[in-house]
């Protein structure tokens, strides 16, 4: 503005004052930027050369700007600062203007799907964002964008865009240590060789990639994947036949099973001792993991295990343990190690502990008849014996050979035994 004449400056300031005083447009909004643009166009009739310089520096890009104030009902400062969600889907947005989202300091959820965004910018101050939805836009890259500043981001949905160069974007995405769910399907980079394994290798803390849960088997396989290198002077490698591919897949499967067996053999004594001594390992490492990355240096990892006499003695067990939980050159995944080793609350919940309990129960001699069955058989035998005695007494009473009874209290006991007689005599002559 110092280049313009004094009258032009006065008219420009007057136009800015009119645009902001009467309408109550918040500072930094697109309407206010367009008001200043209109004032500059008034000056352009007299000073066309100066306006070309101003348009290059002050005028907003061509297209529709995002207006978050239009998405909220109350447009006062308190409501803007406490706003947590902004739903801006299907609004034809071409760019995010500078200084518009700075006042939304507590923003955590931002929807920008199905717009025309070509670059993610001017969101540096919204570092409290947890979820960002950018699907079905025109994004071409995340390099030199505001994404690297969103350290608290947990979900990023950027499917159906135009993102290319997988490894260039991995360098940006792996800085987001809190990211749990990532969706990049529908982009050209998702069609690169071993795309999923490369992403999991550099971001093992992901729980979900392209709406599919990341498993421990994929993490173990991703640790062995390498970035391909191409040499234009060398001829392309020969194509494998179907039988050769099946044989290679079989060898890979056998190698993975062998690595799992070695890891299980190395962890067995550690699990047993942790269970017997009730050792808690995670607090020792969590003190040094201030950023909650789930990683610890190998020296600290080995130091704590040696304190509790848990470090394997054989070299092959040490190699298997390090290969299973290594994350990079000098880091170990202590959180996953503790999940595999420490009991998870209830005794029967951990598979390894359950196997130990079953083996201990099976080691005892198993009786042919259980205790409950033996009690039932004894009770049934008593019932049969009682019934047999009752039947025998009934037979003796029927034949007149019952036991002696007393007729009245104090009267002499007389025998009730009668001489043998037939049934007809007993009923016809009962006193005989």
Q: What is the pLDDT of residues 325-379, one digit of tens each?
A: 888 778 888 888 988 888 765 444 456 556 666 676 666 666 666 777 888 888 9
Mean pLDDT for the chain?
77
| Token pair in block for residue 112 | 């920008």
* Burial of 231: CB neighbours in 10 Å, binned 0-12, 13-18, 19+: exposed
Q: Mean pLDDT across the stretch 157-166?
A: 90
Q: Which helix (H) or strand (E) holds 379?
A: helix 371-398
Q: In this structure, how many other beta carbons lie within 10 angstroms of the beta carbon of residue 345?
A: 8
Secondary structure (DSSP) of 64-83 = PBP-GGGG-S--SHHHHHT-
Secondary structure (DSSP) of 188-221 = GGGGSTTHHHHHHHH-TT-SEETTEEPPHHHHHH
| 166 touches 196 (CB < 8 A) | no
Q: In this structure, how many other beta carbons lie within 10 angstroms of the beta carbon of residue 101?
A: 22
Nearest of 127, 169, 107 to residue 144 by alpha carbon: 169
Q: Which helix (H) or strand (E) holds 248?
A: helix 242-277
- The beta strand positions in 288-431, using DSSP E, are 295-297, 331-333
Q: Mean pLDDT across the stretch 77-99?
A: 87
Query: Please, what's the b/e burial string for 110-124 (b: 16 or more CB within 10 A of its CB; e: otherwise)?
Result: bbbbbbebbbbebbe
Query: Under DSSP, is residue 394 helix (H, G, I), strand (E, B) or coil?
Result: helix
pLDDT at residue number 19: 42
Alpha carbons 72 and 54: distance in angstroms, whole number = 32
pTM recorded for the entire structure: 0.45
pLDDT over threshold 60, residue 299: yes
pLDDT at residue number 412: 52
Q: Mean pLDDT across the stretch 157-186?
A: 90
Per-residue pLDDT tens digits for 386-431: 999 999 888 888 877 555 544 455 555 444 445 555 555 555 545 5
Alpha carbons 67 and 25: distance in angstroms, whole number = 12
Angle (CA) 366-372-377 rounded to 5° is 105
Per-residue pLDDT tens digits for 139-154: 999 988 889 889 899 9
| 173 touches 153 (CB < 8 A) | no
Residue 9, sorted as left (phi over 0), alpha (psi -120 to 50) or beta, turns out to be alpha
pLDDT over threshold 70, residue 229: no
Per-residue pLDDT tens digits for 235-287: 666 777 888 888 888 998 898 888 888 888 999 999 888 888 888 888 888 88
């Amino acid at each position: 503005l110092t280049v313009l004449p004094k009258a032009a400056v006065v008219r420009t300031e007057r136009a800015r004052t009119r645009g902001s005083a009467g309408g109550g447009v918040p500072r930094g909004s697109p309407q206010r930027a367009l008001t200043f643009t209109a004032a500059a166009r008034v000056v352009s009739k007299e000073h066309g050369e100066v306006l070309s310089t101003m348009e290059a520096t002050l005028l907003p890009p061509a297209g529709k700007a995002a207006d978050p104030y239009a998405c909220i009902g109350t447009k006062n400062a308190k409501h803007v600062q406490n706003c947590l969600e902004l739903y801006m889907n299907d609004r034809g947005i071409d760019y995010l203007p500078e200084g518009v989202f700075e006042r939304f300091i507590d923003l955590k959820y931002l929807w920008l799907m199905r717009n025309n965004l070509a670059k993610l910018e001017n969101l540096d101050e919204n570092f409290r964002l947890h979820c960002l939805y950018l699907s079905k836009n025109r994004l071409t890259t995340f390099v030199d964008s505001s994404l690297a500043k969103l350290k608290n981001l947990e979900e990023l949905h950027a499917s159906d865009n135009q993102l290319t160069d997988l490894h260039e974007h991995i360098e940006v995405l792996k800085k987001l240590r809190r990211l749990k769910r990532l969706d990049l399907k529908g982009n050209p980079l998702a069609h690169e060789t071993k795309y999923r394994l490369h992403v999991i290798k550099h971001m093992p803390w992901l729980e979900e990639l392209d709406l599919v849960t990341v498993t421990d088997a994929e993490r173990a396989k991703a640790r062995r994947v390498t970035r391909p290198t191409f040499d234009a002077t060398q001829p392309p490698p020969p194509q494998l036949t179907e039988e050769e591919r099946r044989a290679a897949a079989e060898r890979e499967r056998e190698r993975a099973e062998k690595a799992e067996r070695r890891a299980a053999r190395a962890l067995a004594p550690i699990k047993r001792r942790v269970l017997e001594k009730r050792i808690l390992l995670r607090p020792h490492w969590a003190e040094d993991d201030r950023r909650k990355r789930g990683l610890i240096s190998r020296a600290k990892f080995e130091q704590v295990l040696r304190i509790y006499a848990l470090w394997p003695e054989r070299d092959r067990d040490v190699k298997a343990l390090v290969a299973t939980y290594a994350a990079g050159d000098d880091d170990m995944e202590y959180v996953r190690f503790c999940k595999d080793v420490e009991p998870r609350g209830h005794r029967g919940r951990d598979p390894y502990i359950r196997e130990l309990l079953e083996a201990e129960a099976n080691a005892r001699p198993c009786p042919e008849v259980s205790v409950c069955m033996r009690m039932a058989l004894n009770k049934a035998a008593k019932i049969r014996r009682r019934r047999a005695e009752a039947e025998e007494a009934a037979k003796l009473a029927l034949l007149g050979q019952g036991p002696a009874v007393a007729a009245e209290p104090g009267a002499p006991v007389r025998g009730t035994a009668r001489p043998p007689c037939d049934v007809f005599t007993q009923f016809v002559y009962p006193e005989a």
